Structure 1
Amino acid sequence: MRITGVATVMTSRHLKSVILGAALIASLPAAAAFRDPLETPAQINLQLAKSSRLTAVTAAGERLVAVGPRGHILLSDDRGASWKQVEVPVSVDLVAVRFVTPRDGWVVGHDGVVLHSADGGSTWAKQLDGQQAIRIMKDYFVQRADMGHEDARKLLSDVARYEEEGPTKPFLDVLFLNEQEGFIVGAFGQAFHTRDGGKSWKPLLGRIDNPRSLHIYALAQSRGKIYAAGEQGMLLRWDAERERFDAMASPYRGSFFGLLGTETGLVAYGLRGNAFASHDGGASWSELRTGVTDAITGAARLPDGGVVLATQGGKLLVDSGRGHLQEMPVTRAMAYFSLAAAGPQSLVVVGSGGVQVESISIQK
């Protein structure tokens, strides 16, 4: 498993449960005791779900949707004041959530799972899992190799390795441009593209400048362009005409855990408090002085166009548009993983201690 240079945020947030799950299975007295989380619905326990670790939160119109381990998905229709848990067909750890409209949203997570909702998160259906993803890759490249495509034939050994390693690799982010076209990316460079709302997926193996199969952590859209980021300073831009992700020059050698499209460009953030902004599509980058050394694990746009960053050390940093970041007071510090605007003056943050609401406070 290649995780060289990745902070503990990666192992704990995205891959640790895979390792722990494998250890648990090995310790069971009989194989019959194992219940496949891809076939086991999430248990409904609202108190546990909202107070234990959550990994991502986003807005679906006026509604907030939060996701986390064991298939937990929570909804709030009052800006985070109260939450309800909804039924989910799987109990795998969920990592990322995005809504492209108030009704259409997608969640990705461990074991290669992709879930879709067409009603604002009230109900969810599985669109893809790791077993299906491996079959899609194998069928796609075998067919192309049989048609005489030499590039596909060369990739068959990579597909065989994926098949041998099994369907446990997590997807780490999802981004849809509209109700039909979207991308999913994840561990060891896996990525897929759909043009029919997730009914079918095209593998992007061989169409990404990622020869070492580094983890791809994040996707973002800015000014009509699609970007991705990952391990060891990897930054990528989608070439829609050639249908491939091309490498961009990076301002940093450490891992980027996230990307955020802003009104003026793009923000990339990651290890050791590092964050950079670009206003020219990634051609050049300027460093943001965060004043922190812990990993930056989440970011969100504010209604007024500002940006707030969240750290693994429990800090919230607000850019009020004056060119510098301010640390704002919080009611309860925890390891933050994700956040979303919950109104003109409030944020919903999720992390190691569940979900909470914070008021936006900026020194004038």
Structure 2
Amino acid sequence: MSFTPKPRNGLTRAIAIPCPARSTLALFLLPVLLAGCEAELNLAGVGEATRHANLRTDHYQALASNSTASVLVGNDGVILISQDQGSTWQRRQLPGQPALIDVDACPDGSFIALSFDNQLWHSADQGLSWNARALPTQEQMLTATCAPDGAWWAAGGFTTLLESRDQGTNWDETSLDEDAMLTTLQFLDAEQAVVTGEFGLVFSSRDGGQSWQAGGNLPDEFYPHASHFVSLNEGWVGGLNGFIYHTVDGGQNWKRQATPSAAPIFNLSANRDGLFAIGDHSSVLRLSGERWQALPTPSAPVYLRAASSSDDHRLTVAGGRGLLLNLDTRPALAVQAQ
């Protein structure tokens, strides 16, 4: 199935979300609303907080990094900035204290962040200051990303996609014409992109998001909280009950991979040491063959949702109650809490 979605200009309706969609949206946003084969990692230093930056009242939602800075966002407009690969952090707070739910690094070195009130925030100085652009849609946006060509994208309700090529001054709005929420959006390169969504939807693009092709649906209308694709053919999605599915044929077939717990998966992130899944109960999993294995982390009844990897064996993860971990993903090296 292939089609080119048409712009829905002048959209003024507010879509009524049916009960099943409301329930899955609530599950996706729950952290926002609720403000043995691996070598063992050394937990020395866990529990030490960075003074004046990371607070126990913080609930982090997303993290993005470029070559010079990392930006962590969360509830109440909280933004943490690190310029030393997560060793120390500076704290900022946006006016109006919006609930920030996503952030991404752009090719020009700037950052964009999405807030739950459908504002897209932009920083051109490594996260130190921000300007807001209102998104011109009645649909709830859930995810935002910078494409390799510098365009800003957002996706969310009624399979709506927004694109701006002039840093938020003008937007093109399209829909994949499904009454469902889009939950993840990833550009593999300038031409190839993948979105996943409610009811197990998977769509891909080969022309920079100008048209989208429907792939095979996820099993049992699985609701993906997280996805990570290495090509249009191969990818992983994660969600409730600790389920992680893997495809090698563009979503036509999916295989559920074994995980060590039923803790929901909220993010997937990769570096040179492998692919990692981050979720509830402060869990971090590493893919080993076709199975996932738990890494030792501080035992805490809080979620991890934000994650960012680098090529220097580093994985930074963060979540509820100010939990912020800086992991060296090589065996037998340190996991440190900031």
Tell me if TM exceeds 0.5. Answer: yes
Structure 2 partner of 1:104 = 110
Structure 2 partner of 1:200 = 170
Kept in 1, the 8 Å contact 2:270–2:309? The answer is yes
Q: Which structure exhibits the higher relative contact order, with contacts defined as CA atoms closer than 8 Å and separated by 6 or more residues?
A: 2
Kept in 2, the 8 Å contact 1:233–1:254? The answer is yes
Distance 1:343 1:331 in 2: 24
Q: How does 1:162-241 map to 2 (within 5 A)?
A: 162=138, 170-178=140-148, 180-204=150-174, 207-210=175-178, 212=179, 214-222=180-188, 224-238=191-205, 240=207
The reply on whether 1:81 has 2:87 as its aligned counterpart is yes
Structure 2 partner of 1:313 = 281
Distance 1:76 1:313 in 2: 25
The reply on whether 1:349 has 2:308 as its aligned counterpart is no
Distance 2:149 2:156 in 1: 21
Distance 1:350 1:234 in 2: 27
Distance 1:319 1:234 in 2: 24
Partner SS, residue 101 of structure 1: coil
Q: How does 1:275-354 map to 2 (within 5 A)?
A: 275-304=244-273, 306-320=274-288, 322-333=289-300, 334-341=302-309, 344-354=312-322
Distance 2:270 2:240 in 1: 20
Distance 1:307 1:247 in 2: 25
Would you tell me which structure has more helix in proportion to its own residues?
1
Structure 2 partner of 1:247 = 214
Kept in 2, the 8 Å contact 1:65–1:75? The answer is yes
Cα distance, 1:246–1:88 mapped onto 2, change above 3 Å? same
Partner SS, residue 95 of structure 1: strand
Distance 1:226 1:123 in 2: 30
Kept in 1, the 8 Å contact 2:192–2:208? The answer is no
Cα deviation for residue 122 of structure 1 reads 2.2
Cα deviation for residue 125 of structure 1 reads 1.0
Distance 1:102 1:332 in 2: 38
Cα distance, 1:242–1:328 mapped onto 2, change above 3 Å? closer
Partner SS, residue 55 of structure 1: strand
Cα deviation for residue 111 of structure 1 reads 1.1
2:28 is matched by which residue type in structure 1? Answer: M
**Deviation string, structure 1 residues 69-92 (Cα, Å, up to 9, x no partner):** 111111012222211023534421
**Deviation string, structure 1 residues 308-331 (Cα, Å, up to 9, x no partner):** 0011232111125x3432111013
How many percent identity over aligned positions?
A: 19
Q: Any stretches of 5+ residues in structure 1 without a counterpart?
A: 18-44, 135-161, 163-168
For the aligned residues, what is the CA RMSD?
A: 2.9
One of 23, 30, 34 as aligned partner of 1:12 = 30
Cα deviation for residue 268 of structure 1 reads 1.5
Cα deviation for residue 236 of structure 1 reads 1.8
Structure 1 partner of 2:12 = none
One of 236, 239, 252 as aligned partner of 1:267 = 236
Distance 2:99 2:248 in 1: 35
Partner SS, residue 117 of structure 2: helix
Kept in 1, the 8 Å contact 2:201–2:218? The answer is no
Q: In terms of Rg, which structure is larger?
A: 1
Kept in 2, the 8 Å contact 1:328–1:362? The answer is no
Would you tell me which structure has more strand in proportion to its own residues?
2
Partner SS, residue 199 of structure 2: helix
Structure 2 partner of 1:61 = 67
1:292 is matched by which residue type in structure 2? Answer: S
1:177 is matched by which residue type in structure 2? Answer: A
Q: Any stretches of 5+ residues in structure 2 without a counterpart?
A: 1-16, 36-50, 333-338
One of 115, 121, 125 as aligned partner of 2:131 = 125
1:350 is matched by which residue type in structure 2? Answer: A
**Deviation string, structure 1 residues 317-354 (Cα, Å, up to 9, x no partner):** 1125x343211101353311121125634321111122
Kept in 2, the 8 Å contact 1:222–1:265? The answer is no
Partner SS, residue 13 of structure 1: helix
2:156 is matched by which residue type in structure 1? Answer: G
Cα deviation for residue 194 of structure 1 reads 1.8
1:317 is matched by which residue type in structure 2? Answer: L
Distance 2:113 2:56 in 1: 17
Cα distance, 1:192–1:9 mapped onto 2, change above 3 Å? same
